[in-house]
Amino acid sequence: MNPISIHTIASAVEGDLKGNAGNGDRLISYLSIDSRTLVDPEGSLFFALVGERHNGHQFIHELYQQGVRSFVVSELPDDFEALKEASFIFVKDSLKALQQLAASVRDEFQFPLVAITGSNGKTMVKEWLFDLLQHQLRIVRSPKSYNSQVGVPLSVWNMAGAMDLGIVEAGISKPGEMVRLATIIRPEIGLFTNIGDAHQENFRSMAEKVEEKLRLFEGARLLVCRRDQDLVYQLALRKFEHSSTRIVSWSTTGLAADLAFALQRDGQSTKIRLKWEEAVYEVEIPFSDEASIENACHCLALICANNWINHSVLELFAGLQSVAMRLELKQGVSGCTLINDFYNSDINSLEIALQFLNQQTSSTGQSKTVILSDIKQSGFAPHRLYTEVNRLLQLNKVHRMIGVGKAIGAHRAVFQLPAQFFETTHDFIQDFQTGKFRNEVILIKGAREFRFEEVASVLQKKYHQTQLEINLNILVDNLNAFKAIVKPETKIMVMVKAFSYGSGTTEIARALEFQKVDYLAVAVADEGIELRQAGIESPIVVMNPEEHSFDAMIEYRLEPNIYSRTVFHQFNLAARSAAVVQYPVHIKLETGMNRLGFSDVDELQQVAEQIQAEEILRVQSVFSHLAGTDEPLHDAFTWKQYERFVKLAEVVTSRQKHKVIRHLLNSAGIERFPEFQLDMVRLGIGLYGVAVTKLGVRPITHWTSTISQVKMIGKTETVGYGRMGRANEQKKIAVVPVGYADGYDRRFSNGGANMWVNGACVPVIGNVCMDMTMIDVTDVDVKEGDLVELMGEHIHLKELAERANTIPYEILTGISQRVKRVYSQE
């Protein structure tokens, strides 16, 4: 974005300029809504947004200390005049001001915008359109899935330069939201992907949701939609019947449409035939699943409708790739951590990737390396572009850069940090030596044509092909789903014990600390020490403290669960020896779980009084655990537990001079007993995607492997140990390199569970082995190397638990640490 002065921005958002008015000429290049993701403090304008559980105004002083000098606020700090270098734009609604600013920037565009909305496929269609059209048009697009009330204005702000076309996606979750996005985007061209159940709970009907989404295209000259989605098509016809908006429809089912597509699947690919303006065309895509076919047809229809169709663009369909729309965090060689973002390279997404790089290094202090390709279609002169890249790298304290490509190499003189340049990816790999990379975080960011997945391959720590992907965006979505039903003043403790329910302790804890949860809880001291050594600073409670670890716990500032008089005396002695004062502890009460905890009132009273009198320790919280919150048949017992807890907690809290946090609810309790929230809740399995109500949380894990071998067996042959898998007819068997040593339960043997491969659900055949499992793929087209889902979108966690006659906890925590964890974030 071309820099804009504070004074101009104040006028655009109809705000009053307060504070240091002399800074009205300060130029703004970046907008920020999160105090944790600053790229350029001096050149950033911070919008203090206000939500149900957050208020950006509370971070103004922290941001000022970080160098931010420009703010948009709806509440002026009481001491704003003391912040002598700061400028404040005072408005009634900071979110509305952000949207107004984006709308004013949109006024300056000399190129048309394509807007994409719908329930699914928006980001994929946007990226494929870019891939297909970038060779004939200069295109700028919104980064990743920036499609919300905040994401859209940030995207539009960053769209600038001499372009031929912009592509923006827009998503909504409530009535009334789309009109605000439409005011910003004002598209000339629209594409409606499809309609589904996402966010349906906020709309009275599917028709209401479609009508809301269609408001995006008011004033557009063209709208492309699928004729087979009859509700979308009919409502679009009705809405635009008397307008100048032209509707182009397409169909694969033979319905009367402007474009009729004929499909021919052939294994893993599909041919699409079409007729447009008396000419017949055919493309082939390397996919055969319904979603990819639909996305490709959306692209084809929009290309035809705009007369961009030619043989060159048609040939590019064969090279379409599944786009990795998330940043991936993986373990690399020699203690390195890799951030893979090699599906695109532009200045806007570089800013986002650098934010994620900072997030990963904020607590570790590791050095930062960026491997960067040529940046395509920036809209700016190359010298100006790479000068800006150098500035961003320096502002974010990147220690070295490796440039790949002719353009970035030609401008090596502008880079003022240690740098090395290669003309091609092949040149870099030929020069690669493991010893050049050690204990650092490496951001790999490149345009797709540079095939930086090959760079990631040489830098990645080698495991076998089974991996567990943990989606950090879903983790945050789940956290926010629970926050929405917890009172703003209620604190949240998150359980990260047992390797964060199998998801990886350090990475999950780092993401939660970034989200500013109030407490983390681990099972044993070693788990907490690992977090401290990784740089985690959040308060950490140890639920099962042991005497031998007390000195280490004090050294690493870990707070114990005091569940008996014995543990109290032991820890009190250790704290006295360490000469600490007011060391925080947490008192566990027994209310009916009959596990750990005080139940004797006299003992509890004596401990509470001694703690207050000596002041060696400090009671930070008092808590108990509910035994049956997930089952209605135990509700009466849950009420009795609550009543007993309140009485026992009073024994402790009444004997302390300070306020003591009380907490009782686990994940299921948060959902079903909001009246028991008290001062804090403890979020466990719910965060990882298991709910007892229709809360809308999703599993954060996706467990996959690949096929090692495919073979045919005769009808008299058997499969696996004990010859338990029997073929009554000729069968095709695939071997998957995962077994019970990886946590794939032996109870899944002989049809006890299914896997998902190439669009089909297939059963396990024979006994699960230590390191391998066989599946029956007789009716499925598969080959060696094909991806297999063990748990995820198609094979649900709850389904696996039910088949093993167990609970989701056991499945998640049973996944071996030898299974590679990969962390992704948009």
- Do residues 749 and 766 make contact, with C-beta atoms less than 8 angstroms apart? yes
Q: What is the 3-state secondary structure (H, E, C) of 566-590?
A: HHHHHHHHHHHHCCCCCEEEEEEEC
Residue 721 appears among annotated catalytic residues: yes
- Do residues 250 and 258 make contact, with C-beta atoms less than 8 angstroms apart? yes
**Catalytic: which of 497, 588, 731, 732?**
497
DSSP assignment string, 348-376: HHHHHHHHHHHHHHTTT--EEEEEEEPPP
Residue 96 appears among annotated catalytic residues: no
Q: Is 317 helix (H, G, I), strand (E, B) or coil?
A: helix
Give the CA distances from residue 153 to residues 104, 132, 183, 298, 626, in Å, rounded to whole numbers and listed in that order: 10, 25, 10, 25, 45
Q: Is 723 helix (H, G, I), strand (E, B) or coil?
A: helix
Contacts of 97 (CB under 8 A, 6+ apart): 13, 14, 15, 47, 72, 89, 91
CA–CA distance, 174 with 158 (Å, rounded to integer): 25
Give the strand pairing for 491-495 and 680-683.
parallel
User: How is residue 124 written in tokens?
Assistant: 């994929």
**Catalytic: which of 647, 711, 721, 798?**
721
- Give the type of residue at 656: Q
Q: Which of 629, 659, 662, 669 is nearest to 647 (CA)?
A: 662
- Do residues 665 and 672 make contact, with C-beta atoms less than 8 angstroms apart? no
Q: Is 822 helix (H, G, I), strand (E, B) or coil?
A: strand
770 carries a ligand binding annotation: yes
Contacts of 241 (CB under 8 A, 6+ apart): none
User: How is residue 722 written in tokens?
Assistant: 């004990």
Q: Which of 179, 177, 157, 176 is nearest to 168 (CA)?
A: 157
Backbone angles phi, psi at 347, to 5 degrees: -65, -35
CA–CA distance, 759 with 586 (Å, rounded to integer): 50
Give the CA distances from residue 577 to residues 1, 167, 411, 550, 581, in Å, rounded to whole numbers and listed in that order: 59, 65, 61, 11, 11
Q: Which residues of 536-557 are buried (b: 16+ CB within 10 A; e: fewer)?
A: bebbbbbbebeeebbeebbebe
CA–CA distance, 42 with 85 (Å, rounded to integer): 11
CA–CA distance, 201 with 121 (Å, rounded to integer): 20
Sign of CA dihedral 324, 325, 331, 335: positive
Q: Which of 771, 774, 785, 776 is nearest to 743 (CA)?
A: 771
Residues annotated in the binding site for substrate, as ranges? 595, 770
Binding residues: 595, 770
Known catalytic residues are 497, 721
